[in-house]
């Protein structure tokens, strides 16, 4: 079981997130789909927890499921308290999931909440005297009925399959729909499905399955399988043999009677119900079944997405939502494996460059040709692997609606959180690291940015405060902004607090402008750690936000309009793993300068260099730039007189300077490698990279060098 625990955790958290999201949506505007989705999530959670033996979770989710089922069948109305109750339940399940080892601690809470849920269910009973516990049976009954319902196959089969059906009918065979429902929480579902197929193939030809064969193989289905078969089977015997397969709970076989042209496929509703059918055609065994089955399966898997049948019954909706869920073509991979892959590809790229350099020396045309091929493939591989690291920022954003809701209840402020651009993709490491800073910014916006209702009304604002959380691409960066329409930041209050905390002096206080005063909130010591608790102060922990964003090569900006709101903008790099650099040589060593920091390169003559108070400067387009010799600031050598000096003009933030180097070598993309933990705190060095020839080159941290 242990090995399944991580999987359980990952999936359970996903379901819980779904539940939270649906509840939030439902709070705004109740819709049937949310109920169905929540029901499904609660149901899956229950099943998973049951399999794992987490009785508390399965018990609690069972109650949730029952209640949701009542709602779904319109037996209860959605009320505010009800949603709050479900929120409590979701929280408790989350708590249990987070504390799998010590679940028993919470058994009292679980029991209490289960009672509450049951009580609610009973109260809402309208005409049926079923206790909520039996709701599942109702659902079972529904599944039973599904065995008798027919799927609108005509919208699902492709031309090829239609031909096969036509052929079969012309051979005098019949068409059947077989419905299989596996037991809840069944393990080895794909094996069961395989056995089902095997059994059917003895008696007929499988034309189509829903979900597709491919999905069945990969266990991407819930419990139900629909099959469309042709042949002359002994229906009773077939049904019996199918029912004998372990973990098959329910089998239904219906004959589908074709009328007229196969195109206008109609299904007769009076098709013989599976249980009573007894047609005897035992000889119909098709040797080609396996092959055509596979072909059909694959063709279907491909085609399914562009099918759009008009007349869809409830069953098919269900079956299709099932299959659309299972066609999500994703797998879970441990991030460590992914990181390892990225690293290996980095190595491969480096070695490729080396091999190609060696290959060129031989002058062998055949070798050069295949090396070119190698270069192309590895370049493609590199871009694919880099894309693997990219994840949508949604992963972080998803937790905020719930957080803001809870905060708004706590603060008794009406707040609307408007999220946009959540599909924007960023490097996984960056996405992992912006969560906490964003929590901080959002909390600040709720606590101190937005006014309370009365104040908003008296200021002529919409009583509902708005917070906009947005992510978008901007050049090679992603900008994430948190904006509120609250009272904004009062520069005078900021200055007063900065003075109190000894960050600025009284004289400075008078000189500081509006923009600059806003930046004071990022100063270390502006807030004390004591205040970084549940209730944030405006600017509390802002230095932490700034430091953590800068740690991933990002920047933070703040803009504010007093009385109108304020806006924080985080500018983040797309990726941390590969960057473009300008390679320079200094003191016989090669250094890489991140291209983001490079403004321009130029060559200057000794007479261009001026001296101001002993420091070298140059005048570039009427701007005076400090000039420093790279090997001197690195402590690797002394400035030497030359006829001409190559200079790299660098800039970070508003700091700008010229670096004198020995040689400009050109641009190159490099894979960033961190320095060993023993030497990673060197100012001015951001990391290292390995060049094509295997040499190690340092990547400079311009901000560190300019300090």
Partner 1 sequence: MADNKDTVFEVQLVAFKLENEEFAVNIQKVREVLRMTQVTPLPQSAHFIEGIINLRGEIIPVVDLRRRFELSSGERNDQTRIIIVEIQDSNVGLIVDSVTEVMRLSSEVIQPPPAKVAGTRTDLIKGVGKISDRLLIVLELDRILTTQEKIALEEVTLGENAGV
So which residues are the catalytic ones? 43, 65, 444
Q: What are phi and psi of 329, to 5 degrees?
A: -90, 65
Considering only residues 23, 598, 634, 706, which one is a binding residue for partner 1 as defined by CB under 8 A?
A: 634
Q: Which is nearer to partner 1, 24 or 636 (CB)?
A: 636
Element (H or E) spanning 553, and its range? none
Among 260, 513, 635, 653, binds partner 1 (CB under 8 A): 635
Q: Which of 33, 606, 695, 707 binds partner 1 (CB under 8 A)?
A: 695
**Interior CA angle at 218 toward 217 and 222, to 5°?**
95
Closest to partner 1 by CB, 486 vs 687, is 687
Tokens of 367: 């070798």
| Closer of 522 and 591 to partner 1 (Cβ) | 591
Among 48, 480, 685, 686, binds partner 1 (CB under 8 A): 685
> Would you count residue 702 as binding partner 1 (CB under 8 A)?
no
Least distance CB 334 / partner 1 (angstroms)? 19
Cis peptide before 211 (omega within 30 of 0): yes
Rounded CA-CA distance 87/173 in Å is: 54
Cα→Cα distances 691→4, 312, 597, 677, 694, Å: 42, 60, 21, 21, 5
Given a contact cutoff of 8 angstroms between Cβ atoms, the answer to whether 230 and 201 are in contact is no
| Interstrand relation of 589-594 and 578-586 (parallel, antiparallel or unpaired) | antiparallel
Q: Is 697 in the site for partner 1 (CB under 8 A)?
A: yes
Indicate whether 676 belongs to the interface with partner 1 (CB under 8 A): yes
The one among 187, 358, 384, 696 contacting partner 1 by CB under 8 A: 696
Q: Is 683 in the site for partner 1 (CB under 8 A)?
A: yes
Q: How far apart are CA 8 and CA 6, in angstroms?
A: 5
Q: Which 348-367 residues touch partner 1, going by CB under 8 A?
A: 350
Residues in binding contact with partner 1, number by CB under 8 A = 26
| Strand pairing report for 415-420 and 696-700 | unpaired
Q: In whole angstroms, give the CA distance from residue 117 to residue 93.
A: 14
Residue 664 C-beta: closest distance to partner 1, Å = 19
Segment near partner 1 (CB under 8 A), from 296-304, 421-429, 496-504, 672-680? 672-680
Provide the 3-class DSSP secondary structure of residue 564.
Answer: coil
Binding window for partner 1 (CB under 8 A); candidates: 44-52, 200-208, 294-302, 689-697: 689-697
The answer to whether residues 417 and 505 touch, using CB atoms and an 8 Å cutoff, is no
What's the closest the beta carbon of residue 588 comes to partner 1, in angstroms? 9
In whole angstroms, how far apart are CA 677 and each of 430, 576, 656, 680?
A: 20, 18, 30, 5
Among residues 219, 405, 675, 692, which is the contact residue for partner 1, using CB under 8 A?
675
Residue (521 or 582) nearer to partner 1, CB? 582
Nearer to partner 1, 297 or 346 (CB): 346
Q: Is 127 in the site for partner 1 (CB under 8 A)?
A: no
Euclidean distance between CA atoms 13 and 166, whole angstroms: 47
Mark the segment that binds partner 1 (CB under 8 A) among 18-26, 99-107, 397-405, 685-693: 685-693
Identity of the residue, 522 or 659, whose beta carbon is nearer to partner 1 in the bound complex = 659
**629 makes contact with partner 1 (CB under 8 A):** no
Letters for 330-349 (x = contact with partner 1 by CB under 8 A, - = none) are: -------------x--xx--
- Strand stretches in 36-149, DSSP E: none
Looking at residues 140 to 159 of the shown chain, list those that interact with partner 1 (rule: CB under 8 A): none
Q: Which one of 291, 364, 674, 707 is in contact with partner 1 (CB under 8 A)?
A: 674
Contacts of 605-614 with C-beta under 8 Å, sequence gap 24+, read 605/643, 605/644, 605/645, 606/641, 606/642, 606/643, 606/645, 609/645
Compare residues 503 and 587 and give the one whose CB is closer to partner 1: 587
Q: Which of 337, 530, 638, 677 binds partner 1 (CB under 8 A)?
A: 677
Q: Measure the CA dihedral 651/655/660/663, to 10°.
A: -10
Q: Which stretch binds partner 1 (CB under 8 A): 90-98, 107-115, 510-518, 694-702?
A: 694-702
- The nearest distance, CB 427 to partner 1, in angstroms, is 19
d(CA 647, CA 18) in angstroms, rounded, equals 55
Among 50, 537, 626, 684, binds partner 1 (CB under 8 A): 684
Query: Considering the complex, what minimum distance in angstroms separates the CB of residue 351 from partner 1?
Result: 9
CA distances (Å), origin 102, targets 97, 105, 114, 288: 10, 6, 19, 55
Please report how close the Cβ of residue 357 comes to partner 1 at its closest, in angstroms.
16
Out of 690, 702, 703, 706, name the contact with partner 1 by CB under 8 A: 690
C-alpha 283 chain-centroid distance: 52
Stated length of the chain: 707
Read off the tokens for 153.
């196959």
Task: Output 92 or 688, the one with its CB closest to partner 1.
Answer: 688
What percent of the chain is helix, strand and coil (3-state, nearest 5)?
50, 20, 30
Q: Is position 688 an interface residue for partner 1 (rule: CB under 8 A)? A: yes
Among 636, 639, 651, 664, binds partner 1 (CB under 8 A): 636
The answer to whether 480 touches 572, Cβ cutoff 8 Å, is yes
The sign of the CA dihedral 118, 122, 126, 127 is: positive
Alpha-carbon gap, residue 477 to 601, rounded angstroms? 23
Residue 251 backbone phi and psi in degrees, to 5: -130, 135
686 binds partner 1 (CB under 8 A): no
Q: Which is nearer to partner 1, 204 or 594 (CB)?
A: 594
Q: Which residue of 255, 368, 589, 596 would you call a contact of partner 1, by CB under 8 A?
A: 589
CB under 8 A: which stretch of 41-49, 103-111, 573-581, 678-686 binds partner 1?
678-686
Nearer to partner 1, 145 or 696 (CB): 696
| Residue of 555, 576, 574, 552 whose CA lies nearest to 670 | 576
Q: Which is nearer to partner 1, 366 or 679 (CB)?
A: 679
Binder to partner 1 among 442, 698, 703, 706 (CB under 8 A)? Answer: 698
| Residue carrying the six token digits 């206790």 | 131
How far is residue 489's CA from residue 467's CA, in Å, rounded to a whole number? 15
Record the tokens describing residue 36, joined without a space: 């169905």
Contact 10, 332 (CB under 8 A): yes
What would the two tokens of residue 190 be? Answer: 């794909």
Give the x-and-dash track for 545-584 against partner 1 (CB under 8 A): ----------------------------------------
Which range of residues in 62-70, 401-409, 468-476, 688-696 is near partner 1 by CB under 8 A?
688-696
Q: 301 or 590, CB closer to partner 1? A: 590
- 500 binds partner 1, rule: CB under 8 A: no
- Does residue number 585 form part of the binding site for partner 1 (CB under 8 A)? no
Provide, rounded to whole angstroms, the least separation between the CB of residue 384 and partner 1.
19
Give whole-number Cα distances, 686 to 172, 299, 576, 653, 682, in Å: 76, 51, 11, 17, 8
Q: Of the candidates 130, 106, 123, which has an alpha carbon nearest to the alpha carbon of residue 55? A: 106
Question: Which among 467, 418, 470 is positioned nearest to 447, based on CA atoms?
Answer: 467
Contact flag: residue 692 with partner 1 (CB under 8 A): no
Nearest to partner 1 of 279, 636 (CB atom): 636
Binding site for partner 1 (CB under 8 A): 343, 346-347, 350, 589, 634-636, 673-679, 682-685, 688, 690, 694-698
């Amino acid at each position: 079981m242990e090995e399944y625990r991580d999987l359980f955790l990952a999936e359970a958290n996903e379901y819980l997130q779904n539940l939270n999201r649906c509840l939030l949506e439902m709070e705004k505007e109740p819709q049937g789909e949310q109920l169905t989705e929540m029901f499904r999530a609660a149901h899956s959670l229950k099943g998973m927890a049951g399999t794992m033996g987490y009785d508390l979770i399965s018990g609690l989710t069972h109650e949730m499921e029952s209640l949701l089922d009542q709602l779904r069948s319109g037996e209860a109305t959605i009320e505010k308290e009800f949603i709050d109750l479900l929120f409590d339940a979701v929280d408790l399940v989350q708590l249990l999931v987070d504390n799998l080892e010590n679940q028993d601690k919470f058994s009292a809470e679980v029991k209490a909440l289960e009672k509450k849920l049951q009580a609610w269910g009973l109260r809402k009973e309208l005409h049926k005297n079923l206790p909520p516990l039996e709701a599942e049976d109702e659902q079972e009954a529904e599944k039973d009925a599904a065995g008798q319902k027919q799927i609108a196959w005509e919208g699902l089969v492709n031309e090829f399959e239609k031909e096969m059906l036509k052929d079969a009918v012309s051979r005098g065979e019949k068409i059947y729909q077989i419905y299989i429902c596996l037991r809840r929480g069944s393990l080895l579902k794909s094996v069961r499905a395989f056995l089902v197929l095997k059994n059917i193939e003895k008696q007929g030809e499988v034309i189509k399955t829903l979900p597709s064969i491919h999905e069945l193989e990969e266990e991407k289905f819930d419990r139900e399988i629909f099959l469309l078969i042709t042949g002359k089977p002994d229906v009773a015997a077939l049904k019996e043999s199918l029912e004998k397969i372990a973990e098959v709970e329910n089998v239904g076989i219906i004959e589908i009677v074709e009328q007229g042209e196969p195109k206008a496929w109609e299904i007769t509703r009076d098709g013989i119900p599976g249980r009573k059918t007894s047609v005897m055609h035992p000889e119909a065994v098709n040797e080609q079944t396996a092959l055509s089955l596979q072909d059909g399966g694959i063709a279907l898997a491909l085609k399914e997405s562009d099918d759009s049948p008009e007349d869809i019954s409830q069953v098919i909706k269900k079956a299709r939502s099932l299959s659309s869920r299972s066609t999500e073509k994703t797998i879970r991979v441990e991030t460590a494996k992914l990181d390892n892959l990225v690293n290996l590809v980095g190595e491969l790229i480096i070695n490729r460059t080396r091999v190609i350099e060696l290959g060129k020396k031989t002058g062998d045309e055949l070798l050069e040709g295949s090396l070119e091929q190698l270069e192309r493939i590895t370049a493609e591989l590199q871009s694919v692997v880099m894309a693997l690291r990219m994840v949508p920022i949604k992963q972080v954003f998803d937790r905020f609606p719930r957080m803001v809701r809870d905060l708004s209840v706590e603060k008794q402020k009406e707040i609307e959180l408007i999220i946009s651009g959540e599909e924007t993709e960023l490097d996984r490491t960056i996405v992992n690291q912006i969560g906490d800073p964003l929590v901080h910014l959002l909390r600040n916006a709720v606590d101190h940015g937005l006014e309370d209702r009365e104040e908003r009304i008296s200021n002529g604002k919409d009583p509902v405060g708005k917070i906009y959380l947005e992510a978008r691409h901007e050049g090679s960066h992603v900008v994430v902004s948190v904006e509120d329409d609250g009272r904004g930041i009062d520069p005078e209050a900021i200055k007063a607090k900065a003075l109190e905390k000894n960050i600025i002096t009284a004289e400075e206080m008078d000189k500081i402008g509006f923009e600059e005063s806003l930046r004071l909130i990022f100063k270390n010591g502006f807030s004390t750690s004591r205040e970084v608790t549940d209730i944030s102060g405006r600017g509390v922990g802002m230095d932490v936000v700034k430091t953590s964003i800068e740690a991933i090569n990002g920047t933070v900006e703040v803009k504010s309009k007093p009385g109108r709101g304020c806006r924080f903008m985080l500018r983040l790099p797309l990726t941390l793993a590969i960057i473009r650099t300008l390679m320079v040589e200094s003191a016989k060593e090669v250094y890489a300068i991140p291209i983001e920091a490079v403004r321009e390169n130029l060559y200057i003559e000794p007479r261009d260099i001026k001296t101001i108070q002993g420091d070298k400067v140059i005048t570039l387009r009427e701007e005076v730039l400090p000039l420093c010799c790279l090997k001197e600031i690195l402590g690797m050598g002394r400035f030497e007189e030359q006829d001409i000096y190559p200079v790299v003009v660098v800039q970070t933030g508003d700091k700008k300077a010229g670096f004198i180097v020995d040689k400009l070598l050109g641009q190159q993309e490099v894979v960033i490698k961190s320095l060993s933990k023993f030497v990673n705190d060197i100012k001015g060095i951001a990391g290292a990279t390995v060049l094509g020839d295997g040499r190690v080159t340092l990547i400079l941290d311009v901000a560190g060098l300019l300090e």
